[in-house]
Structure 1
Amino acid sequence: MNVLSAAPHYLELSELAARLKAGTASPVGVTHTLLERISRLDRSLNAYAIVTADDALAQAEVAEAEIKDGRYRGPLHGVPVAVKDLCWVEGHPTAAGMSIHRNFRPSENATVVHRLKEAGAIILGKLQLTEGAYSDHHPSITPPKNPWNLDYWPGISSSGAGAATAAGLCYGAIASDTGGSIRWPCGANGLTGLKPTWGRVSRHGVFELAATLDHVGPMARSARDCALLLAAIAGPDPKDPTALFDPVPDYAGLADEGVSGLRIGIDPGWNGDDVDPGVKTILSEAAEVFRSLGATIVKVACPDVTQAVADWTPNCAVEAAVAHEATYLPRKSEYGPVLASVVEDGRALSGTDYQKILIRRLELRGRMAALFGTIDLLLTPVHPFAPLSLETIKTLGTQPDLIFKLQRYTCPFNMTGNPAITLPGGCTDSGLPVAFQLVAAHLGEPTLLRAGTAFQDATAWHCRHPRA
């Protein structure tokens, strides 16, 4: 592990942007450096599903010429990023981690990809993921590895996005989160990740797992970086009627407003006995940092999420069955066992049982809204234990209690649609990163980014990175 390295591939996106604007860094040079790094390191990490090197270099040449000519588009101009391989990129395969889609080449870009390109970002390629963005990789795919320690879990489903960004193979990534798929990989790989409010970012051209649970958002090295990425991709979209029509704030500007006066809630019961001592220490230290910066720490009692965690799987299963309706029966034999099982479960659930889940979701959403009437942010773990080894992950199917603990701080906020940010907050004795989570009211992304930026200005956990 290294700390505070000046290596250019580990710069924050915002730092690189300043150099590109000033002309002290070159889009072509930076892109060449990252493509060489991908070629050298990704043989062991398997983070990329495909690398679009020729397109990336062509985009870099255009960006370099535009910047030199004074046609600067903004802070993503000339910055190499990557997208989870469920985002359509025109003319390039979008497999969504599935064997049946390996030859699918969309005729248009996903809205998020279109907006990245409009902002001048350079798309390096498509990042690997679990099958259909559910919980396991297709048997034909070699799963991505955690660059901090190859024997440890890289998180799911955005496994490649976490590995690539942490290893300096891109400056940020666009991913999705249906039950924790931005937050788990960020926690496992020492990154900052933002799950926006449901509908804040268009889902057009993003392969669907569960329509009402899927959130599209950024993964990067810092809250400032996430603010820049979110500013580019957020906003209404005629191609996605569920995208919110609320005006997009100046996320980057608001991120520097600090936390003075914010009320940050902590539930001692929810963050209590089942949370490992090391994670508790990280939560306590984070709270003290926020207190020292002017926030007020408030004890709260969160709504009970036990039923919501139990409901998440059948809710996701029904929506996955809808998403796979056209392909599952005719090509069932080509599905991996885990995704096939969840689709089967969704097909079997009764309409009345599904409706009960929807009613309970609305009730939980109302209780969470009431909670956020008393606080600005909620501080929780990402999960209540230290990083998981791959050996432990192999046993998840036989450990329902472990699955529940993994999901208890993430899935509820997909059920309610609340935005959440994951921030590196410490490390284990062996040097692996450990994170915490902040949650806000609907459309509370500016508050999350303010808090994340203030915390990272006062600490250096987000500056740590794997040795490579």
Structure 2
Amino acid sequence: MSADPLHYKSITEISGLFRHGELQPSEVTAAMLNRIAELDGRFHGYATVLAERAMAQAKRCDDEIAKGIWRGPLHGVPIGLKDLCYTTFAPTAGGTTIHANFVPSFNATIVDRLERAGAVTLGKLKMTEGAYTSHHPNDQAPLNPWNIDYWVGSSSSGSGVVTSAGLCYGSIGSDTGGSIRFPSATCGLTGIKPTWGRVSRHGVFPLADSLDHVGPMCRSAADAAAMLGVIAGADINDPTTLRAPVPNYLAGLGDGIRGLRIGVDRKYTQEGIDPQVVAALKDAERMLADLGADIREIKFPAYEKLVSMWIPMCSIETAEAHLGTYPSRKSEYGPDLAQLIEQGRSMSGIEIAAVHHERLKFSGSLAALFGDIDLLLIPTMPVPIPTLTKMGEYGTDPNVLLSILRFTAVFDFSGSPTITLPMGLASDNMPLSMQLVGPHLSEDVLARAGHAFQSATDWHTRRPPLD
């Protein structure tokens, strides 16, 4: 057994302890609920805690495992759900006040898949209003457990906080412009943004349907692979899901990365990027080379114009998603989401076509690039984690906001899968983060590469200063 305290053990380790009778899901769930009661009042990651239901689930898992029934690596493992996942057993507000009391008549497909796999749902996790950039003015935003004065990322903020603080073993996030990747980066986590369509969005509140991705946020690549293996796959209720078979993402984790071609565009990843980020990325590149990867110089496709189109594209689809409540209930919206919707409602067909064409050009160029490489190495953010004060200053400068999106938004446009990995600590002891990006349906390669990197480094084992 590892030396990690119970709340920081990996999903794969906890799962093994359950299966071999060394721990029971009910005692782990009770310990996790006690920790939530102790700490979440400081960090505000949970929108709803489902203590009684979670304990009932955990006791059923105790009984099943004692009888030799084994549902897989999530059996009995306590997790959290971002509060845009429909649940019949708890309200699904999506970060809004309009839907504060909305209890759906069905579960999101991913919720059913997680619970059929034996996962214990501790609760629903806070998020920004409608999964856009800011929390509703009437809601207490989650606080970063590494340092409450620092940004905690965007919409999957609650998922980042509770997973990092050891208030669950893994969580579900969503990503439209970076909202799996930013909270993973700011909280020292590993997150997988799958290929668009790899994971069903049935029963998931949309921000912008053609950009939205749903995926796991965990403390290691192995844990993220375990969760992704449960939620991925075709869904009759979501015709946009991909019909490709789902591999066993855990099976090949230990195969290493010798000979894997990893592309690096030093202009894209270094020019205008904070020196601390560049230095850590160079260290990561050297480590990947030492592990046997073939590092190749590449030229990344032109991306600036597409990044500048992310807000317009998001605005169009968000306006469509909110037709049922906006403008009829406009007064109940926070200012940032309302402004986005207003922008979308004012967009012309010609402007929409221009975005669509730019998206097609970039996606084609990126697909061609992946003919020569297997993965791409880039930072998650161009700067170390900003303070909340600095983020407030950024909010008045659209150029800075677009700079922050340069390594994330384009891969929502293209639907490309990515894995976000801790790669160091900045001078303020806050996490630094990188991404590996792959061609469509390469999540198995991304998980293997992430695991290889984490087997040779310990950045993913660093914890916020709570214990």
Q: TM-score, normalised by structure 2?
A: 0.99
SS of 2:223's partner is helix
SS of 1:392's partner is helix
SS of 1:92's partner is coil
Long gaps (5+) in structure 2: none
Equivalent residue runs for 1:364-383 within 5 Å = 364-383=362-381
| 2:24 is the alignment partner of 1:42 | no
Which of 327, 330, 339 is the aligned partner of 1:329? 327
| 2:278 is the alignment partner of 1:245 | no
Specify the code of the residue in structure 1 equivalent to 2:293.
A
Give the distance between the partners of 1:280 and 1:329, measured in 2 at CA: 45
Report how far residue 430 of structure 1 moved: 2.4
Query: How big is each residue's C-alpha offset from its partner over 1:388-443, in whole Å with a ceiling of 9 and x where there is no partner?
Result: 10001112221222201110000000000000010000001221111101100011
Give the distance between the partners of 1:410 and 1:311, measured in 2 at CA: 13
Give the distance between the partners of 2:21 and 2:280, measured in 1 at CA: 39
Equivalent residue runs for 1:17-416 within 5 Å = 17-416=15-414
| 2:388 is the alignment partner of 1:422 | no
The answer to whether the 8 Å contact 1:91/1:107 transfers is no
Give the distance between the partners of 1:109 and 1:149, measured in 2 at CA: 35
Specify the code of the residue in structure 1 equivalent to 2:394.
L
SS of 2:278's partner is helix
Q: Percent identity?
A: 50
Report how far residue 91 of structure 1 moved: 2.9
Report how far residue 218 of structure 1 moved: 0.3
Query: How big is each residue's C-alpha offset from its partner over 1:300-333, in whole Å with a ceiling of 9 and x where there is no partner?
Result: 0000110110111100000000100111111000
Give the distance between the partners of 1:57 and 1:464, measured in 2 at CA: 29
Query: How big is each residue's C-alpha offset from its partner over 1:215-262, in whole Å with a ceiling of 9 and x where there is no partner?
Result: 000000000001100000000000000011111011111222210110
Report how far residue 59 of structure 1 moved: 0.3
Match of 2:453 in 1: 455
Give the distance between the partners of 1:426 and 1:401, measured in 2 at CA: 27
Query: How big is each residue's C-alpha offset from its partner over 1:281-317, in whole Å with a ceiling of 9 and x where there is no partner?
Result: 1111111111111101001000011011011110000
Query: How big is each residue's C-alpha offset from its partner over 1:189-223, in whole Å with a ceiling of 9 and x where there is no partner?
Result: 00000000000000000000000000000000000
Query: How big is each residue's C-alpha offset from its partner over 1:131-169, in whole Å with a ceiling of 9 and x where there is no partner?
Result: 000000000100000000010011111000000000000
Specify the code of the residue in structure 2 equivalent to 1:407.
L
Give the distance between the partners of 1:405 and 1:356, measured in 2 at CA: 21
Specify the code of the residue in structure 1 equivalent to 2:391.
I
Report how far residue 273 of structure 1 moved: 2.1
Choose 364-373 or 247-256, whichever is displaced more.
Answer: 247-256
The answer to whether the 8 Å contact 1:91/1:108 transfers is no
Report how far residue 171 of structure 1 moved: 0.2
Specify the code of the residue in structure 2 equivalent to 1:461.
W
Give the distance between the partners of 1:125 and 1:91, measured in 2 at CA: 10
Query: How big is each residue's C-alpha offset from its partner over 1:101-154, in whole Å with a ceiling of 9 and x where there is no partner?
Result: 001001111000000001000000000000000000000100000000010011
Query: How big is each residue's C-alpha offset from its partner over 1:325-347, in whole Å with a ceiling of 9 and x where there is no partner?
Result: 11111100000000000000000
Specify the code of the residue in structure 2 equivalent to 1:328.
Y
Give the distance between the partners of 1:173 and 1:14, measured in 2 at CA: 14
Give the distance between the partners of 2:329 and 2:23, measured in 1 at CA: 48
Give the distance between the partners of 1:454 and 1:255, measured in 2 at CA: 8
Q: TM-score, normalised by structure 1?
A: 0.98
Give the distance between the partners of 1:71 and 1:135, measured in 2 at CA: 43
Query: How big is each residue's C-alpha offset from its partner over 1:43-66, in whole Å with a ceiling of 9 and x where there is no partner?
Result: 010000000111100000000100
Report how far residue 5 of structure 1 moved: 5.6
Query: How big is each residue's C-alpha offset from its partner over 1:75-98, in whole Å with a ceiling of 9 and x where there is no partner?
Result: 100000011000011131000000
Give the distance between the partners of 2:23 and 2:459, measured in 1 at CA: 26
Give the distance between the partners of 1:252 and 1:317, measured in 2 at CA: 37
Specify the code of the residue in structure 1 equivalent to 2:152.
P
The answer to whether the 8 Å contact 1:147/1:163 transfers is yes
- Alignment RMSD: 0.9
Report how far residue 14 of structure 1 moved: 1.1
Specify the code of the residue in structure 1 equivalent to 2:415.
G
Specify the code of the residue in structure 1 equivalent to 2:209.
A
Specify the code of the residue in structure 2 equivalent to 1:52.
L
Give the distance between the partners of 1:54 and 1:235, measured in 2 at CA: 31
Give the distance between the partners of 1:355 and 1:201, measured in 2 at CA: 27
Report how far residue 20 of structure 1 moved: 1.0
SS of 2:81's partner is strand
SS of 1:154's partner is coil
The 1:129–1:111 alpha-carbon spacing in structure 2 relative to 1, beyond 3 Å, is same
The answer to whether the 8 Å contact 1:78/1:120 transfers is yes
SS of 1:269's partner is helix
SS of 1:99's partner is coil
